[in-house]
Structure 1
């Protein structure tokens, strides 16, 4: 007989759990903001270290490839080795890699440090989310915990833009790396002394080495394919070869996992329609969000002439919206309504905010257009992200919590790569077309400059229209595929996926 855990045995004492959440949230903030904080500092770092225009993209790509490619491996390591131990090691390693990046004396040292950040981030991120999954099992507490986590996961990128702008403008680009050290040290020390991982939640099965190799190579090829497409085009020979390789490798990975006794990614994790709906809708939402960060940053700095710091602060309404949507709307309603009634309307509200931004012009008012659009985007995303993060690991056996958490991060990482490449390609094509058709009419340097700026805006709005559609599809998927009822308000629930007697399951959602 499978056992349903006793509430007292399955959870940490309340004060310790909530103290643990502080350090988990701090670590998650560090990982998420690192995805954008370096972007603002990149021009300064490029000039200082003599990095060529052709190689500068690798400062971003090296992190994305290591992080995205190793997430599934990192998630399973957390399940096997222990989530607390993996979490602390990931923090220490991330801090060390950040010091290396801040002290970089050349291109190779900087790129190497970014890859190392990605490696340790792939250990850290799944461990953080899976710790929440196994520590917070009671409905209302889980809602509050994931409300905080969802706000950070959604708003951390915008926080990175603010912090990156401040550090680059008033200190030095190297501080965009050094700033990770206090985050990591405080989180690691706090986690070591405070976190107590619930007993019986570790997966002690052998590591699936073929699955590790195939998934890592397949995900690296997929992320690199989108990165390469952005630079060299979608029909370039090597771009097609890399995409084809990713399809073969990931297809082989699924085939191997279906016959392995102890698979790296148990297919039961993906077979559940609710989790599949979360992974798909989150991935699509991130495609839209990454495109927005990119275009709005360029619009504010190049078209409106904002400084890096002012640009960072211009994203504050989105952060406020995400925090409000996640902690005040999502967390309060998650135990009262089915998740699809938060995710669907949330993504739809975000698409309305995005729709407002299709009206951008050179002289658009920040207060009249961009600020309300960001508030709608933030509120919608925060409301949707919070139940999505919780549902992605709810109903998963505790032994699979790490790899299920890794799938959440993988969908976001792949979504980010797709969003940057796809939407940037659409924007560039629209910009080129506008310049081609209007450049002849520009008879003075001032007129030509105006045409160039208008072309950029035309490119941004063309891509943002696609983002509107993508968010609408995400809302549709959430409503159609996520069919679970509201979470139980009390701990406990049925055991799923055939958990053996010695496993402590994470309670499932009630239908």
Structure 2
């Protein structure tokens, strides 16, 4: 359990540790404001595109082999990221890091569920796993600020290397090997390549609109190319013997509804850390450590809600009711961030928004996961879990691309008209936060119209009441 959580901690930590160091990376390597999002997206896109295929490989060739391979790739790529001296080298290394992260993360939860079969133990193990994910976000924000300010941004990547080496060696010795079903026609490599290329093309198109404009031949050409790849992926899924995303999954109402809600919510929520970091550093003048502590309240609240309060609320009021309340809180938080001032202060502009954002997101994630899994049959539960994780990465990448581009383009136009840079940047962030709130509002609309409250389980006989309670907790 410790080895698996160490690997997952590295993957989660790397998703947030970069955020605080973005301004330093930008000034050192010469990234433009709009292309800076690619430091994050170069990691997220292969991560989201390869989760399903990596999980399938775990079933085919053995999860231990997949886990150790992914962890090795991730560790080596972290070293290359730390050594990067140009934007191109950093982005390529981040892409490889995303591949390693996807391979590692895709089988971690499946291995934990396989290891702990007794309901009470499984519930504890999944609780620890969830806590590690939340703690990884907090540690990443703090470590990113401390390492960047005390040494340099290169060390936010170097810190992964000793942890990764130890985890790989321990995994090889301690994890039990399991035989897979064997490689065959069921591996949809073509589907994975198509969807990854389509997503990369779509995000690239959106990011580059800040330089080329929405109606340019560059934007239209790459946009149409991305759409063509998506269509090819859909056709592939309809014809493939064992598709990466079987069309039948989208006929399951709660699965498709939860995926749509999840994607829109993540598209709006994920922008908070990226844009809030830029606001605190570019407008409020925070250093890296101050910025890290500035967004920590959100991560702490998410962890506390996910572990302790959300399960009780869901048991009492139902997952859909809790989800809707959570989405309202997130909209309120993002709306508050849409009112930040160029002459503002942390405790009047940013901190009040962290409370509804942290509480709302901590309530939303367990609710959404439960609704998604309730709509899947036992035969499709593993696939539904993979789709849920994949859409989280897709929503994060696309939302960040859209919102960061909106903020950069708006600020650029204002500066060109003679507006002071601080005021222009603030106006761009305000616009992006308001659009993010609209994304989450759209998620609430999908939740209300598509999701259905799962039927309550039949009451168990008195003799089996305690095991039934344990299973519900799990």
Quick check: 1:72–1:215 contact (8 Å CA) kept in 2?
Answer: no
1:269-280 correspondence to structure 2 within 5 Å: 269-280=249-260
Deviation at 1:101, TM superposition (A): 2.2
1:165 counterpart residue number = 145
Shift of 1:57: 5.8
Q: CA deviation at 1:408?
A: 2.5
For structure 1, the 5+ residue unaligned runs are 1-19, 440-447, 492-507
Q: Decide whether the 8 Å contact of 1:146 with 1:331 is kept in 2.
A: no
Matched-pair contact (CA < 8 Å) for 2:60–2:183? yes
Matched, 1:265 2:230: no
Question: In structure 2, how many angstroms separate the alpha carbons of the residues matched to 1:144 and 1:381?
Answer: 21
Asked if the contact 1:23–1:191 (Cα under 8 Å) also holds between the matched residues in 2, the reply is: yes
Q: Is the 8 A contact 1:88 1:192 kept in 2?
A: yes
Residues 264-288 of structure 1 deviation map (CA, whole Å, 9 limit, x = unaligned): 2222333322121222122112211
In 1: Cα distance, 2:269 partner to 2:61 partner: 34
Match runs of 1:64-79 below 5 Å = 64-79=44-59
Match for residue 124 of structure 1? 104
Pairing 1:485–2:454 present: yes
Equivalent position of 1:17 in the other structure: none
User: What SS does structure 2 have at the residue aligned with 1:360?
Assistant: coil
Partner Cα separation in structure 2 for residue 246 and residue 433 of structure 1: 27
Question: What SS does structure 2 have at the residue aligned with 1:485?
Answer: coil
C-alpha contact 2:284 2:344 (8 A) present in aligned 1:
no
- In 2, distance between residues paired with 1:109 and 1:289? 29
1:465 and 2:434 aligned = yes
Q: Contact conserved, 1:149 with 1:386, CA < 8 A, in 2?
A: no
Q: Cα deviations across residues 369-428 of structure 1 (Å, max 9, x unaligned)?
A: 422310210111011112323544566567766654442333222222222232233334
What do you get for the CA RMSD once the two structures are aligned? 3.6
Aligned to 2:344: 364
Equivalent residue number for residue 425 of structure 2 = 456
1:25-52 CA-partner distances (Å, limit 9, x unpaired): 433332233233234434545665x556
Q: 1:201, 1:398 within 8 Å by CA — same for their partners in 2?
A: no
CA distance in structure 2 between the partners assigned to 1:293 and 1:43 by the alignment: 13
Question: Contact between 1:203 and 1:399, CA under 8 Å: does it hold in 2?
Answer: no
Aligned length: 461
Shift of 1:296: 1.1
Q: How does 1:15-414 map to 2 (within 5 A)?
A: 20=1, 22-45=2-25, 51=30, 53=32, 59-104=39-84, 108-132=88-112, 146=126, 148-150=128-130, 153=133, 156-157=136-137, 159-185=139-165, 187-188=167-168, 206-393=186-373, 396=376, 403-414=383-394
- Alpha-carbon distance in structure 2 between the residues aligned to 1:79 and 1:39: 34
Q: Is the 8 A contact 2:45 2:98 kept in 1?
A: yes
Check whether the contact 1:226–1:417 (CA below 8 A) recurs between aligned residues.
no
Q: Shift in Å at residue 95 of structure 1?
A: 0.9
Which stretch of structure 1 is more off in the superposition, 259-268 or 197-206? 197-206
Distance in 2, Cα, partners of 1:208 & 1:164 = 37
Partner of 1:5: none
Aligned equivalents of 1:203 and 1:335: distance in 2?
A: 41
8 Å contact from structure 1 (residues 347, 475) kept in 2 = yes
| Residue in structure 1 matched with residue 444 of structure 2 by the alignment | 475
